[in-house]
């Protein structure tokens, strides 16, 4: 009870409870994981440039609170990803944070798509007016032929409609194909702020800066646009934001520009051990994700970031038969370096589960019980958070 009263008093100092009470009387509560500063060094309350100076709810120390549930692209197992419908479902299902992956239009607007390539998540291929835009590009080492966000203005992007990326596994989500627009980062912030007020609880944002080196190379650098957007919105000046990237230079730049702020964490995503971050590869560097996940590499990450986020199978690998092997030391090593450890991504269909947790319903079938069991197995490592395509299942895994 004391913790709840303290959370209410904290929010009252920000003036937010008053506005919520005026709208309907419900108290906006900070989740337990926002109650203190992380081991990575975020300390006294601070705000982004242009804010009112009101204190923010600080993130929690590694291992000091229940794990955070990150809605991966929204509730992307149930609605087309990166749509307001996916975010609304995720929030209704109890997500602590929602994730917008950010890319940039030709006219310099940040929008939410998993990548610059538009074919898999929009109906662009069926739009004859854009047939001449089809092209081939290599981004982050991957070559695709089709349509790309930086060849479209925001007005043109807004005429497209979102579609389900993997309809064979998610036919329920595919029923919503064509219903929803691509949304801007600013629209997402406003939407989350409104949902937060309606739900009576703080909802964090966990944006990912996608393909920074590529966008900088075509004159559409993401970072300053992103920082300016955070500063322009009261919600992101004062409430939890966890900024992700698979690249390194952009996170260091953001840290340099923002400093250590009470409501902001930086998350270093890591991929397969033999891979290099795209910006490192573009610069001819040799640093691999495997090296970054060594004890020395994790200490280097802790100099500019607060979180290391490996894929699940780097924490507990799969054996050749698809069953889980013994855990690696990565979770413990990350914590020893002073980092939070947050993993990606749990998905509720049999095809994505370790063999330990699959049922007999078929490769593409949903398996909620198996997904919850798999998440709980990984949480035994002491994880501080995790991404899931189905936040309702993540909530069950955490809360029982």
Q: In Å, how far are 32, 254, 331 from 115, measured between CA atoms?
A: 32, 20, 28
259 burial via Cβ count (<10 Å: 0-12, 13-18, 19+): exposed
Split at pLDDT 50, 70, 90, the class of 64 is low
DSSP code per residue over 237-261? HHS-EEEEES-SHHHHHHHHHH-S-
The answer for 53, left when phi > 0, alpha when psi is -120 to 50, beta otherwise, is left
Interhelix angle 249-258/223-232, nearest 10 degrees: 40
Q: In this predicted structure, what is the pLDDT of residue 240? A: 98
| Radius of gyration, CA atoms only, the chain | 20
High-pLDDT (> 70) share of the chain, % = 84
Q: In this predicted structure, what is the pLDDT of residue 6? A: 41
- As a whole number, mean pLDDT of residues 230-255 equals 98
Instruction: Report yes or no: 67 and 380 within 8 Å, Cβ to Cβ.
Output: no
> Which pLDDT tens digit goes with each residue over 153-165?
999 999 999 999 9
Split at pLDDT 50, 70, 90, the class of 400 is confident
Domains observed in the chain: 31-107+182-399 (3.20.20.190)
Instruction: Report yes or no: 51 and 258 within 8 Å, Cβ to Cβ.
Output: no
* Average of per-residue pLDDT values in the chain: 88
For 330, phi then psi, to 5°, come to -60, -45
Q: In this predicted structure, what is the pLDDT of residue 311? A: 98
> Which pLDDT tens digit goes with each residue over 124-140?
999 999 999 999 999 99
Helix (H, G, I), strand (E, B) or coil at 102: strand
> Which pLDDT tens digit goes with each residue over 98-125?
999 999 999 999 999 999 999 999 999 9
> Which pLDDT tens digit goes with each residue over 305-350?
999 999 999 999 999 999 999 999 999 999 999 999 999 999 999 9
Split at pLDDT 50, 70, 90, the class of 48 is very low
26 pLDDT more than 50:
no
Split at pLDDT 50, 70, 90, the class of 188 is very high
60 pLDDT more than 50:
no
Q: In this predicted structure, what is the pLDDT of residue 398? A: 98
Range of weakest confidence among 29-33, 84-88, 113-117: 29-33
Split at pLDDT 50, 70, 90, the class of 42 is very low
Q: In this predicted structure, what is the pLDDT of residue 65? A: 85
What pTM was estimated for this model as a whole? 0.86
- As a whole number, mean pLDDT of residues 247-275 equals 97
Comparing 245 with 63, the larger pLDDT belongs to 245
């Amino acid at each position: 009870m004391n913790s709840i009263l303290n959370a209410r008093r904290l929010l009252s100092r920000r003036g937010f409870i008053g506005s919520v009470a005026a709208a309907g009387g419900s108290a906006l509560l900070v989740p337990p994981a926002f109650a203190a500063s992380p081991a990575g060094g975020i300390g006294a309350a601070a705000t982004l440039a242009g804010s009112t100076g009101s204190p923010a709810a600080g993130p929690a120390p590694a291992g000091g609170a229940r794990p955070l549930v990150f809605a991966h692209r929204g509730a992307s197992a149930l609605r087309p990803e990166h749509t307001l419908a996916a975010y609304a479902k995720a929030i209704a299902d109890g997500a602590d944070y929602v994730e917008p992956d950010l890319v940039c239009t030709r006219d310099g607007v940040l929008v939410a798509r998993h990548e610059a390539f538009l074919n898999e998540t929009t109906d662009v291929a069926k739009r004859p007016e854009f047939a001449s835009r089809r092209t081939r590009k290599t981004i982050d080492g991957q070559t695709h032929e089709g349509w790309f966000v930086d060849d479209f203005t925001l007005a043109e992007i807004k005429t497209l409609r979102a579609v389900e990326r993997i309809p064979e596994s998610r036919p329920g989500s595919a029923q919503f194909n064509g219903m929803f627009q691509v949304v801007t980062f600013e629209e997402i912030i406003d939407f989350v702020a409104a949902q937060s007020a309606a739900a009576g609880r703080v909802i964090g944002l966990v944006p990912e800066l996608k393909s920074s080196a590529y966008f900088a190379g075509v004159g559409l650098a993401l970072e300053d646009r992103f920082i300016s957007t955070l500063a322009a919105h009261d919600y992101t000046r004062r409430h939890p934001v966890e900024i992700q990237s698979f690249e390194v230079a952009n996170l260091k730049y953001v840290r340099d520009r923002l400093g250590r702020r009470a409501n902001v964490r930086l998350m270093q995503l890591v991929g397969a051990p033999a891979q290099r971050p795209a910006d490192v590869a573009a610069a001819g560097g040799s640093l691999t994700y495997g090296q970054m996940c060594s004890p020395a590499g994790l200490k280097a990450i802790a100099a500019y970031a607060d979180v290391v986020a490996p894929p699940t199978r780097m924490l507990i690998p799969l054996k050749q038969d698809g069953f889980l092997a013994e855990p690696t030391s990565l979770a413990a090593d990350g914590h020893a370096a002073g980092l939070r450890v947050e993993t990606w991504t749990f998905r509720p269909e049999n095809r994505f589960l370790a063999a330990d947790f699959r049922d007999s319903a078929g490769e593409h079938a949903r398996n909620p019980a198996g997904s919850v069991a798999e998440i709980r197995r990984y949480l035994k490592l002491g994880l501080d958070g995790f991404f899931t395509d189905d936040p309702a299942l993540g909530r069950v895994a955490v809360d029982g």
